[in-house]
Amino acid sequence: MESPTKLFNKNYFLLWQGQTISRVGTNIFSVAMILWLIDFTDKASLLGLMGMLAGIPEVLFSTIGGTIADRYSRRTIIISCDIIKGILILLLTLFFYFSTSSVNLIVLALLIITTLSASVNAFFYPAISASIPDLVPENKLNAANSLSQTSSQLISILGQMIGSTLYFLLGAPLLVFLNGVSFFYSAISEFFITIPQKKLDRKDDNQENASSFKNEIKEGLKYIWEKKGLKNLVLISAVLNFFTVPVILLFPYYLEKVLLINKAWYPHFLAVYVCGNVIGFLIASMNKINPQIKNKLIFAFIILDASIYGILGFTYNVYIALFLIVSSGLMSGFVQIIITSIMQSTTPSEIRGRVFGFLGTLGASLSPVAMGLAGVIADITNKNIPLIYGSCSLIMIAISLTILANKSIHEFLLEQKSENVLLVNPVLRKSKS
């Protein structure tokens, strides 16, 4: 297969638009499930448990999922995962329609299917991340990442803006059903995609095959471990994410108890955050910005974003809160695109799945614990949002400052500036040849 010459070639377009449709369904579904749990249980601990169960599989299986994405057809993995997720969500629909009198049974089904769907995603996302660089021209990779994230976030705005309205108009069961259908649409679209891929050789002997599989996992881990700056950045980010989780999880209660507005506004505030993300994505994709300035912005944005969470907890004015939220979205979106582009453009295709699988495991390793603890602490403190937000922010600021003192992270980012393409690490590039 010839290398792509334009961004919107057939393969990338089919993948992009299929994912767009499924993201619409997923965002509407997510808002509906949060509102349903609050309406029928009003337990923050259940929100935390659902988030924890959604995060654990990523920690457990992303490494294996990444290795499989290097070893087997990424196209087949992507299609199969969407089909499986569609079946799981349709099974959940049956519980909503036929177990209406038993809230506990529906909650149990929701938690089980959330866990199973997250397990599937542990194989799905490494395959997607590893495929994108092979579907677009090398000089369009940043644009592709920005477009994918921008469209994803715009879809999030749409899903979150209409999710609560549709929830009150149509009810949870129908929205769950529509989400299931969206995965089947995405799978059909992906069926017509061709993904060029250099797959690893597999042995016919099962014992040799298993040994080879273990060695491939070790090879991916070694690749990341030797990139000290990348490793440290991901580890610190995982710790920061641990304290970010309570802020996000408890946001519906922030609206009710601090801003004193109805929780139905929750998706609209999320949409504002997403708008900030989109602005950050667009700024990050501007190649005319001096790379050294971009690197300085990364450090500044990480620290400022940590500060915003504490300020937000003591902000009682809706308009000031909106400004803080859109600012936080902008900064996190900017950092996300730059780091993603570094990792994709500097990692060889044949090992890319394992690298993203390991990074997914490292990045999400603490989130499930944070989800569970945040819900329990919220119930114990009678949902004292200012105390929780302020405490998380102070700890995040202290952790963020360690990034400034970490020489390896500085080197990892500052060595990118000689490239025309966004932040390509010459150290990692050598390992590709």
Q: What is the dihedral of CA 304, 306, 307, 311, to 10 degrees?
A: 130
pLDDT at residue 92, as a whole number: 93
Classify domain 10-193+208-430 by CATH number.
Answer: 1.20.1250.20
CB 363 within 8 Å of CB 234: yes
pLDDT band (50, 70, 90) for residue 316: very high
Tokens describing residue 349: 């295709």
Q: Are 128 and 86 in contact (CB under 8 A)?
A: no
CA dist 110 and 54 (Å) reads: 11
Check pLDDT > 60 for residue 59.
yes
**Considering the entire predicted model, what is its pTM?**
0.62
250 or 8, higher pLDDT: 250
Domain limits, the chain: 10-193+208-430
At 355 the three-state DSSP class reads helix
216-250 tens-digit pLDDT: 667 767 777 777 877 787 778 788 888 888 888 88
What is the helix, strand, coil percentage profile of the chain, to 5? 85, 0, 15
pLDDT band at 429 (very low <50, low <70, confident <90, very high): very low
Give the pLDDT of residue 420.
34
User: Residues 121-153: pLDDT tens digits?
Assistant: 889 988 888 888 788 777 777 677 777 777 776
Burial class (CB in 10 A: 0-12, 13-18, 19+), 430: exposed
CA-based nearest residue to 348, from 130, 125, 143? 130
Q: Is 407 exposed, middle or buried (0-12, 13-18, 19+ CB in 10 A)?
A: exposed
pLDDT for the residue numbered 288? 63
Q: For residue 421, is it left (φ>0), alpha (ψ between -120 and 50) or beta?
A: beta
Whole-number pLDDT of residue 1: 53
Name the pLDDT band for 2 (thresholds 50, 70, 90). Answer: low
Would you say residue 205 has pLDDT above 60?
Answer: no
**Is pLDDT of 34 > 90?**
no
**Cβ neighbours of residue 42 closer than 8 Å, sequence gap 6 or more:** none
- Highest mean pLDDT range out of 133-142, 223-232, 273-282, 358-367? 273-282
Which pLDDT does position 418 carry in this prediction?
37
State the Cα–Cα distance between residues 37 and 324, nearest whole angstrom.
27
